């Protein structure tokens, strides 16, 4: 299963935090503020990248299947304002398919962001970790996680390489989006348009699957093979 997360700060702005949480954010955001020369209030729009201060509003999912002997790629998203409900639905989906079509999870920069973020937020809400996410006590080769960014590194640890850059490099057709990850905070809290975010998230999942196909030497998906559920 290919997956992608969209996250935002837990509150619309820092004024909605208690004094204790403000102090904790001041401590956590020190590096961000120094790097960007930003105020405490300005820095809060970046809180969504930290599982302690953010929440998941959308999980994009995609997987390969067969329909009448032909390859298809089914893509969907689970989105909503109620993070616990979003996470529980995703956990139920993984558990109900464990050992069937979903034996591996794949995300871009997933090992540093998507997978740990999912686990941390599930623990916050008291949701039992699905088998595919629960890596406690497992040996490295037993962890069923793939990371397209890690695959591209080939052992190099120096740089972050974006999914957008890999798609451009491999001449993979990507949808012309009207937003980027940097816009999610504004679109969610100011425009209140979660459907727009979900559409963007699903498109990233499709691009990721095409990048993985390039790694494997497989002809990448045509638009006609994609089924949005």
Token pair listed for 141: 């080769």
| Residue pointed to by tokens 């004024």 | 15
Residue 100: how many other CB atoms lie within 10 Å? 7
> Which class would CATH give 2-228?
alpha beta
Q: What are the pLDDT digits (tens) for 70-100?
A: 999 999 999 999 999 999 999 999 888 655 6
Q: What are the pLDDT digits (tens) for 9-60?
A: 999 999 999 999 999 999 999 999 998 899 999 999 999 999 999 999 999 9
| Residue pointed to by tokens 């790694």 | 215
* Cβ-Cβ contacts under 8 Å for 90 (sequence gap 6 or more): 59, 61, 78, 118
Predicted confidence (pLDDT) at residue 176 exceeds the cutoff of 60: no
Query: 4 to each of 95, 117, 207, how far by Cα in Å?
Result: 18, 11, 11
Domain boundaries, the chain: 2-228
Q: What are the pLDDT digits (tens) for 119-173?
A: 999 999 999 999 999 999 999 889 999 999 999 999 888 778 999 999 999 998 7
* Cβ-Cβ contacts under 8 Å for 54 (sequence gap 6 or more): 7, 8, 9, 10, 47, 48, 117
- pLDDT of amino acid 130: 93
């Amino acid at each position: 299963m290919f997956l992608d997360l969209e996250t935002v700060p837990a509150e619309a702005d820092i004024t909605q935090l208690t004094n204790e949480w403000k102090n904790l954010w001041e401590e956590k955001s020190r590096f961000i503020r120094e790097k960007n020369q930003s105020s405490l209030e300005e820095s809060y729009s970046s809180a969504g990248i930290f599982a302690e201060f953010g929440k998941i509003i959308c999980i994009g999912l995609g997987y390969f299947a067969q329909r009448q002997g032909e390859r298809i790629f089914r893509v969907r998203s689970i989105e909503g304002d109620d993070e616990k409900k979003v996470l529980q639905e995703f956990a139920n989906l993984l558990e109900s398919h464990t050992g069937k079509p979903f034996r591996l999870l794949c995300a871009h920069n997933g090992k540093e962001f998507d997978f740990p973020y999912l686990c941390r937020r599930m623990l916050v809400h008291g949701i039992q970790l699905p088998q595919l996410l629960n890596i406690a006590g497992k040996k490295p080769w037993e962890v069923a996680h793939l990371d397209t960014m890690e695959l591209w590194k080939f052992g190099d640890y120096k740089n972050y390489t974006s999914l957008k850059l890999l798609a451009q490099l491999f001449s993979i057709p990507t949808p012309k989006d009207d937003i980027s990850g940097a816009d999610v905070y504004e679109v969610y809290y100011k425009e209140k348009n979660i459907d727009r975010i979900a559409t963007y998230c699903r498109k990233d999942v499709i691009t990721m699957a095409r990048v993985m196909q390039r790694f494997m030497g497989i002809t990448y998906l045509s638009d006609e093979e994609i089924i949005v559920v």
